[in-house]
Each structure stands twice: as C-alpha cells, then as structure tokens.
Amino acid sequence: MPLFSDLHAYGQRIWLDNLTRGHLRDGRLAQLIAQGVTGITSNPTIFHKAVSETEDYAAQMAQLRKAEPDPERRYEALLREDIRAACELLEPAFVNSGGDDGYVSWEVAPRFAHDENMTVVEAKRLHGLVARDNLLIKVPGTEAGLRAFERLTAEGISVNVTLLFSLHHVARTFEAYMRGAQQWLERGGDPLRLKAVASLFLSRIDTLADKKLEALGTDQALALRGKTAVAVAKLAYQRYLDFFMGDEYFGYLRAHKVRPQYLLWASSGTKNPAYSDLLYVEPLIGSDTINTLPDKTLAALADHGETAPTVHLGVADAEADIVELESLGISPTAIGEELQAEGLRLFAESYDKLIAAM
C-alpha cells in the first residue's frame, strides 16, 4: 500500500517540491512515486542549487557549451531532459487519474512576470519543447500573469499559477480560470484537457506576519505568531468551495465536465524551528487539495505525520485570527502584495545566477 494512501483517501495529493537529475538517476523519484507521490514542482532556486552543488549536469553542460552559444537555451536543454523524464515516470498517475494528477511544472522566466504577451508566448514555447500532456506551465499570479493565464486556459494549456500569498490573489486566480475555461468550451475544446492549480505560498506569510507582530510586541500580537498562514489557507479553501462546489459560479462549467482549479499548498516547509515541522501539512488535509513538499518535510510526514481531514476545521478561529490581525493594523492583503513582489525578486535573482552558471 502506498505510504500516503491515507491522504489520497481524504482527497489530497502529495507532490515533491524538488526536481533534480540526482533523484532521477538514483531511483529516488521512482521510489517516492511508488510510495504515493503523484506530482513534482520546481523553480529556478531549486534547479540552481542542483546545478551548482552537484556534478549531475557536468557532462551535458560541457557538451552544451560547445554546441549552444546561448546560456538560457543551455539551461532549457538541461531542464527539459529532467522535466520529460519526470513526466514519463508520472505518466501512469496521469493516465490512471484521467488527467487529474501526475503533473510536472516548468516555470516561465521571471523577467516576463509583468508582460502578458511574452508570458503567453513563452508558455506555449516551453509547452512545445516538452510535448507532454502532463506538463504544467508555471505562471506568476501578477495582474499580467493572470491575464496570460486566462488566455492560456482559453487555448487548452494547463497552468500552475504560482506566487499567490493572499485571499485576494486566490480569488482573482479562480476568476481568471473560469473565464478562460468558458472561452475554451465556446471554442469547442475538450473540457478534460484543462488542468490548473493555484499555488498558495504559506511559510513566507508567517515569516513576514510574525516580523510585524514581534515589532508590535504586545501580548495580543505575540499570541498570533505562527497562525496567519494556516488561517489564510483555511479561508482560501472556503473560497475554493464557494467558487467551485456551488452552482452560482461554476455550475455551468462543472455540468460540462470542466475540472475545478485545485489549491496547492506551496512553501510548506517550516522555516521557524520553534514551530512544528508539519505546521503547513497536518492542519491542511482535505479534498481537492495538493501539498507540494520539500524532501525534509516529506520525510517528516512519512515519519511522524498524523493524517486526518482537517482543512475544513477551525474556520471560525481562522476568521477571528485574521480579524484580530487587521485590528492590530496588519493587513494580510498588503502582506500578500509585499511577498509577491519579494518572491518575484528572489526568483529573478536565482534565475540570473542560474543563467550565469550556464
């Protein structure tokens, strides 16, 4: 029986937040898939670490430096090999789920985060380079990125909307998906071709919220530390239910077999050692969700994780925590905007370092 079968029974899928050639070559990824991991995400930071800290890419890099003058195309050649190999390993999960699971993500270059047209162009190009149905193109949840996401969905391209940090970001993403899906249907597209996820980043929310709470220093403020991210996630799940499970918004699309856009819990490795190493896992288990975990958190879940459907519990407490946070002058929406800008900057820095290493 797969290691994560309990979570599957509750409707949650576990993805690995770490695609490396080492995992592909030594059988680690195949082993994790056998244990119940059903998808993979990555980003420039993860890939830069793999390239700079291992020899796994050295031989191919030497060949590419002779054959390919463009450093960015060298990077794409390296990553495409990993992406396609991972897609092949996950193809059984993709087929067995009817296209609902078994995906690998590839991110559009961060410099296009505020350029709608180039995001669309690059997303299509990367999709064509891999040529696998179980590829998700990662597009940031900026205003331009969401417009691009809507257009890509309208053309039947599956997307992982990334760098979401607030309820506002989540709602805007759901709306863009439904508009794009409607256009895809109107063009005669197969509804089962569509797949999209909305990646809500968690640990970074607490890192920034806690900093603001500690700056206030009152007992009331300090008592809220480590609660913001889970509260936002629980309320985001309620938004998911409002958008996709009722008839007001999604009824027509659901009747035509369009899939909902699942929430994906990202940045779910705990950064504060004072908190549980499963802070962003155990309270957020539930139907139609994905949690993408780094290796360390995945190992912690396998070792001592307690599994039960929990994402729908404590919603009133989550609402109260957000209200209390706002009463202290700390806006979760403003935190989300600040974190998205910071996330784009950090990804761009990692991407630039990666290209320089090519």
CB atoms near residue 346 (< 10 Å): 16
DSSP string over 111-158: GGTT-HHHHHHHHHHHHHHH--TTEEEEEE-SHHHHHHHHHHHHTT--
Quickly tell me which residue has 């669309």 as its tokens.
120
State residue 234 phi and psi, 5-degree precision: -65, -40
Catalytic residue among 138, 195, 212, 227: 138
- Cα–Cα distance, 72 to 99 (Å, whole number): 31
Distance of CA 70 to the CA centre of its chain: 29
> pTM here?
0.96
Condensed to tens digits (0 to 9), the pLDDT of residues 277-330 reads: 999 999 999 999 999 999 999 999 999 999 999 999 999 999 999 999 999 999
Six-digit token pair at 16?
């690995």
Q: 76 — phi, psi (to 5°)?
A: -65, -35
Residue 117 contacts by C-beta under 8 Å, 6 or more apart in sequence?
A: 148
- Strand pairing category for 104-107 and 262-266: unpaired
What does the pLDDT look like over 170-213, one tens digit per residue? 999 999 999 999 999 999 999 999 999 999 999 999 999 999 99
Average pLDDT of the chain is: 95
What pLDDT is attached to residue 58?
87
Burial (0-12, 13-18, 19+ Cβ within 10 Å), 61: middle
Calculate the alpha carbon distances from 140 to 55, 119, 148, 288, 313 in Å.
30, 9, 9, 21, 29
> Is the pLDDT score of 87 beyond 80?
yes
Whether 1 shows a pLDDT value over 60: the answer reads no
Phi, then psi, of 221 in degrees rounded to 5: -70, -45
Q: What region does 7 belong to: left with phi over 0, alpha with psi -120 to 50, or beta?
A: alpha
Q: How confident is the model at residue 49 (pLDDT cuts 50, 70, 90)?
A: confident
CA distance 103 to 132: 10
**Among the listed ranges 23-32, 181-190, 293-302, 347-356, which one has the minimum average pLDDT value?**
347-356
Catalytic (active site) residue 138 = yes
Class of domain 5-357: alpha beta
Neighbours of 236 (CB within 10 A): 25
pLDDT digits (tens, 9 = 90+) for 256-265: 999 999 999 9
pLDDT in the model for residue 196: 98
User: Given a cut of 90, is residue 143 above it in pLDDT?
Assistant: yes
Name the band, by pLDDT with cuts 50, 70 and 90, for residue 51: confident
